[in-house]
Amino acid sequence: MTERTLLIENLKPIDVFGPNDQLIKFISGYFPSLKIVARGNQVKMIGTPEDIDVFEEKFGEIIEHIARFKTISDNDLIYLLEDSRLAPAMPAAPQSDPIIIHGQNGLIIKARTPNQRLMCEKIKSHDMLFAVGPAGSGKTYTAVALAVKALKNREVKKIVLTRPAVEAGENLGFLPGDLKDKLDPYLQPLYDALRDMIPPEKLRNHLETGIIQIAPLAFMRGRTLENAFVILDEAQNTTTMQMKMFLTRMGMSAKFVITGDISQIDLPRNQPSGLVQVLKILNDTQGIAIVTLTGTDIVRNPIVGRVLQAYESQLSGEQ
- For residues 314 and 58, the model is more confident at 58
Residues 183 and 310 reside in one and the same domain: yes
Question: 160: exposed, middle or buried (C-beta count within 10 Å: 0-12, 13-18, 19+)?
Answer: buried
pLDDT of residue 95: 46
Residue 174 has pLDDT above 60, yes or no: no
- For residues 92 and 213, the model is more confident at 213
Give me the chain's average pLDDT, please.
84
Residues 62 and 155 reside in one and the same domain: no
* 45 DSSP β-pair partners: 4, 36
Query: Is the residue at 91 inside a domain?
Result: no
pLDDT of residue 167: 47
Give pLDDT tens digits for 101-119: 887 776 778 888 889 999 9
Q: Confidence class of residue 306 from pLDDT cuts 50, 70 and 90?
A: confident
Give pLDDT tens digits for 242-279: 999 999 999 999 999 999 999 899 898 889 999 999 99
pLDDT of residue 90: 42
pLDDT of residue 104: 75
Specify the number of domains making up the chain: 2
Q: Confidence class of residue 224 from pLDDT cuts 50, 70 and 90?
A: very high
Cβ pair 141, 219 in contact under 8 A = no
DSSP one-letter code for 88? P
Least confident of 62-76, 79-93, 185-199, 214-228: 79-93
Query: Is the residue at 87 inside a domain?
Result: no
Cβ pair 162, 231 in contact under 8 A = yes
CATH number at residue 45: 3.30.1370.10
Cβ pair 158, 228 in contact under 8 A = yes
41-44: long-range contacts at Cβ-Cβ below 8 A with a sequence spacing of 24 or more?
A: 41/7, 41/8, 41/9, 41/13, 42/5, 42/6, 42/7, 42/8, 43/5, 43/6, 43/8, 44/3, 44/4, 44/5, 44/6
What does each C-alpha distance from 224 to 60, 118, 251, 252 come to in angstroms? 50, 28, 6, 9
pLDDT of residue 36: 93
The pTM (predicted TM-score) of the whole model is: 0.66
Query: Is the residue at 86 inside a domain?
Result: no
Cα–Cα dist 278/285, whole Å = 11
Residues 261 and 302 reside in one and the same domain: yes
Residues 40 and 74 reside in one and the same domain: yes
Q: What is the mean pLDDT of residues 211-223?
A: 89
Query: Is the residue at 122 inside a domain?
Result: yes
- Enclosing domain of residue 60: 2-81
Percent pLDDT > 90 in the chain is 44
Question: 79: exposed, middle or buried (C-beta count within 10 Å: 0-12, 13-18, 19+)?
Answer: buried
Q: What is the mean pLDDT of residues 179-205?
A: 82
Tell how far CA 198 is from the center of its chain. Answer: 16
Residues 241 and 143 reside in one and the same domain: yes
- What are residue 176's phi and psi, to 5 degrees? -75, 160
